[in-house]
Structure 1
Amino acid sequence: MIRLYFLQALYHLRENPIITWVSIIGTALAICMIMVLVITFQVRLVDCEPEVNRSRSLYISSMAVKQKGTESGAYGHMSVQTGQKCFKSLTTAEAVTLISLPEKVRASLPAGAKLTADMVQTDDRFWHIFHFRFLSGQAFSKADSDAGLPCTVISATVAKRLFGTTDVAGQTLQLNHVEYRVSGVVTDISMLATSAYAQVWVPYNSTDAAGFAWWDDTMGQMKAVILAHSSADFPAIRDEVEVLRRKYNDGLPETEVFYRGQPDGVFANLYRKWANIPDVKGVILRYTLIIAILLLVPAINLSSMSLSRMRRRMSEIGVRKAFGATGGELVRQVFFENLLLTLLAGVLGLALSYGATFLLNGFLFGNSANAYLSGDTSLTPGMLLSPWAFLAALGFCLLMNLLSSGIPAWRASRMNIVDAINQRGE
């Protein structure tokens, strides 16, 4: 019976090819627009390699410092000293890492190949919080990091351009003319992984990062990422961060630091702009309204077309009733017609959304924050796949189509046969 319903649905959709294709393309474009919007959020918010712990991570991307007893101050990033005393000392967190701002570095071989790469300075806990795929070797260890040994992890692109291969663990290269031993080689990282991205990673103890500080050594070039055992631990971690901040300030002679609502979750961190505390509820409301408009406007137009099509089929429904079709059979037929149309539109819309995302990659994901970096905004399957968003958009379009065509079909199934044939049901 189901096979018969689908065959009948195909026949009726082919009967009005123009209306059918307009409906399919309209629904597909609605789903495409929703999916592109969802993907632009998803690439920065969901757990995906290497930032597989976003959902249980807290971020301190900036801080402020002021003279004690005054109101005005300066905003910037923390020093290694601040990071170690205020965040690395946390006992309620699973792990804490300090990460420097990306900087350009000259990577070269003696009398050999050379290139400019994006480098960050970090510590051994970085490799616990973020999960990388190693092609050769391994991450530098806690002993390497604490001792400040000149060792580095490099990306596949850097390894290939310098050595011609990724199997280079244990070999030596120069970073700004300082020799570093290659601990490991990892797959290239997209710039969309904003906390983990780099092309070269070195221990901050192997450089002068600790000495790069000002304003009572409180400010520098570092940011912190805190990994919780569970998101349920966020309140306890924030409470301990505040305790450590007050203790740290008590030991400073003339200044005090504060974080303006941080540590942030991944969503708030994405929309934090220096001193401005992000209006998370306002951002969510704004994008909810955008999604609603993107769904409702085409859905209303498509529903009008479906309603018009069903009105023209009143006489057909009357004839089928005359030959013994029940009201349930008529309604099921309409359901399968709309299910088939929406499924076709959904597959087309999903394909269009992925195509649009790749074609508009630079427009969607390029910004002033990553414009000076050497990497690219490549997309991984984990960033693209959003089954729940797709099913929600598909279900909404199906519901609107069912309401616009199912209600007239249900009414026609209850009408007098003669009235239905003569289309006198309105």
Structure 2
Amino acid sequence: MLKNYFKIAIAVLKRRKFFTFLSLFGISFTIIILMVMTAFIDKVVNDTYPDKKRDRSLYINKMELRGKESMNGGAPSYYFLKHYVGSMKTPVKFAISSGFNSTNTYVNNRKIVINYKYTNADYWEVLDYKFSEGKPLTKQQIDNAEKVAVITEDMKKEYFGDSGTVLGKYIEADNVKYRICGVVKTLPITSYLFYADVYLPITVTKTNLMSDKGYMGNFTAIVLAANTGDVPKMKKEFDGIMAKVPIPGKEWDHVYSHADSYIQGYLRTGNETNSGMLYAITAVTLFALFVMLLPTLNLVNVNITRIMERSSEIGVRKAFGASSFTLVYQFIVENLILTFLGGLIGIVLSLVAMYVINSANLIANLNLELNFTVLFYTVITCIVFGLLSGVYPAWRMSKLNVVTALKAQ
């Protein structure tokens, strides 16, 4: 039966080539947009480089002070993280890093922008950077405030050109020269918690990190549990600490911070009751529905037109006893075949689009790719697309009167 429906669907597609083109274009264009968007989200959210221990990590990267008439939100300070988060007993490692800062340096009269960040020793044990040369900053180097640095492969190429090893050479950042002890794979800027061109010991910063007792700053922390079973315990311990943190100043009524999973931390808006997950899911869903709406309406109209052309066929089948359910089933199957054909074209064109986007290097080191997650959502989209655009026309077809349909012959 399905084989016959497939033959009929192909014959119908060949009958009105312009309508077929409109249908396939609408479906494939929608698939391209959704696949590229899904690939981007999947790459940003699910790429576990360099935090491969994400399943037993919690991220503290937001701080919020609230008063009756004002609110101050941002990243926590080094003092807050060291004094309060550092007192936690459950974590086995406690990584601290600053947000990246930018500075200009000149090499052979050529300006180079360097994004640098400071890290503590645990940072290199919690995270698993891929080293093409050398090794990470050591605890001894950081405790001794040695002027050493880990740089990225892209910075190596931009600063030193196509030279050989750069271990032992010096790079200038913020008017200070640092000896290079390691080279790591470059991250895209979308990995904002870990992104930098140059990683420096937290002890070489020019400011006294503990002198300012304020809670707001430019630092983030990752607390690592011994196993995944300790993560809820670690989160509960942090919440307990936050409940006892003194409120800094009379203008504030509440102080909020959260130990989140990676995705929650990435999306957190600062609101103490909402991590941003609901907003993100709602926004993506509404965008996907909007993208699918116009092609679906177009396909519905095209399908209704095709139904009118096939009224005589419907009349004959009804006259010979075909039920409304059989006709509806046939038309939905035909529409799904059309949709999957458009989806197949969309997948091929999506691969082309991803290749063009990656080649254009719109976001450095962010390479979109087709994976099983993206493919799964594409198949789901095709099914939804086919059902949405096929149910109403199929219902209209099944309700055609036999006599009316035969007269249209």
TM-score by length of 1: 0.74
Contact 2:50/2:128, CA 8 A, preserved across alignment:
yes
- 2:117 maps to 120
Aligned pair 1:337/2:334, yes or no? yes
Q: Deviations over 1:138-188 (max 9, x none)?
A: 322344334433332111121123333475253221334544332221222
Structure 1, gaps ≥5 residues long = 367-374
Aligned length: 405
Structure 2 distance, partners of 1:195, 1:166, is 30
Aligned pair 1:300/2:300, yes or no? no
TM-score by length of 2: 0.76
Q: Deviations over 1:185-228 (max 9, x none)?
A: 1222111111111111122124345x145543655432223345
State the 1:48 CA deviation: 4.1
Mean Cα displacement is larger for which, 298-307 or 124-133? 124-133
State the 1:306 CA deviation: 1.4
Structure 1 distance, partners of 2:103, 2:296, is 52
The residue identity in structure 2 corresponding to 1:262 is H
Q: Deviations over 1:253-279 (max 9, x none)?
A: 999997524234444434445678655
- 1:381 maps to 369
Structure 2 distance, partners of 1:170, 1:256, is 49
State the 1:102 CA deviation: 0.8
State the 1:100 CA deviation: 0.6
- 1:138 maps to 135
Aligned pair 1:281/2:278, yes or no? yes
Structure 1 distance, partners of 2:227, 2:27, is 39
Secondary structure of the residue aligned to 1:260 is strand
Aligned pair 1:24/2:29, yes or no? no
Secondary structure of the residue aligned to 2:114 is strand
State the 1:52 CA deviation: 4.8
Structure 1 distance, partners of 2:7, 2:143, is 70
Q: Deviations over 1:64-102 (max 9, x none)?
A: 5799xx997865543433322322443334543211121
- 1:369 maps to none
The residue identity in structure 1 corresponding to 2:193 is S
Structure 2 distance, partners of 1:384, 1:157, is 29
Q: Deviations over 1:336-383 (max 9, x none)?
A: 53233212322344456666778889xxx99xxxxxxxx847334389
- 1:371 maps to none
Contact 2:63/2:74, CA 8 A, preserved across alignment:
yes
Aligned-residue identity in percent: 24
Secondary structure of the residue aligned to 1:386 is helix
From the superposition, tell whether residues 90 and 355 of structure 1 become closer, same or farther in structure 2 (CA, over 3 Å). farther
Secondary structure of the residue aligned to 2:12 is helix
Q: What are the residue-to-residue correspondences of 1:109-258 with 2, within 5 Å?
A: 115-165=112-162, 167-168=164-165, 170-176=167-173, 177-208=175-206, 211-216=208-213, 219-227=216-224, 235-245=232-242, 249=246
The residue identity in structure 2 corresponding to 1:180 is Y
The residue identity in structure 2 corresponding to 1:18 is F
Contact 2:332/2:386, CA 8 A, preserved across alignment:
no
State the 1:14 CA deviation: 1.4
Mean Cα displacement is larger for which, 324-333 or 36-45? 324-333
